[in-house]
Amino acid sequence: MTLSEVDLYAYATAMCGVADLAEADLAAGVASVRIRLLAKGEFLLRAGDQAEQVAVVVQGLLREHFVLPDGTERTKAFVLEGQLSGSLADLLSSAPSRAYIVAEEPSRLLLMPFSAARQLAQERPAWRTLGARVTESLLRVKAEREYELLGLDAAGRYEAFRTRYPGLEARVSAKHVASYLGITPVHLSRLRRQRRAVGR
């Protein structure tokens, strides 16, 4: 499938939003990019599979999560249009993935093999900078998530979720929002009622 102008714009925006890539740097990366369409509920990655691709979400919504032995899901992150996905820890470890990545909406993705991104980083300083900045950004998000889970109560985590993902509640189930917050759907419903009661 050929990349459209929308795809190319999404690719350039996602990359240049992290680091300043010249036209030649962008062109070098495009050669390794392919399109993948996911139906709602279709997986980009399953636990046990090898993580090999970095994805840019052109359209749609992904959810990264873990599944406990009893089948309980714990949502790690939601990935919106223009953002990157791929489970960096699993990509770096080269071990079978521990995470699942699933489409919560019909999604159009741009995929680049992680091996190609690494090769570009070896050959091009701008791509090396891009890799470093993506890693820094993910570490910041990870630190913020740790603080939310360990330093905030459920109401505080809910407010942080609404700030990080404005408008997302209309796009995902309460069950997945609750699993992101580390609470039950019943508890989430209570938090929503309390919020409405104070006019928020």
Distance (Å, rounded) from C-alpha 115 to C-alpha 52? 8
Q: Which residues contact 169 (CB under 8 A, 6 or more apart)?
A: 162, 177
User: So where are the chain's domains?
Assistant: 5-138, 152-200
pTM greater than 0.75 (yes/no): yes
Q: For residue 162, give the H/E element and its range.
A: helix 154-164
Per the listing, tokens 């089948």 go with 71
| Dist CA 28 CA 9 (whole Å) | 15
Query: What pLDDT is attached to residue 16?
Result: 66
The second-level CATH assignment, the architecture, of 5-138 is Sandwich (2.60)
Q: Rounded to whole angstroms, how far apart are CA atoms 98 and 172?
A: 22
E strands along 60-195, which residues? 62-67, 73-79, 84-85, 100-103, 107-113
Report the pLDDT value the prediction gives residue 126, as an integer from 0 to 100: 87
Output the tens digit of pLDDT for each of the chain's 200 residues. Answer: 667 777 777 777 777 676 777 888 888 888 889 999 999 999 999 999 999 999 999 999 999 999 999 999 999 999 999 888 988 888 888 888 999 999 999 999 999 999 999 999 999 998 888 888 888 888 999 999 999 999 999 999 999 999 999 999 999 999 999 999 999 999 999 999 998 888 76
- Residue 165: exposure state from Cβ atoms within 10 A (0-12, 13-18, ≥19): middle
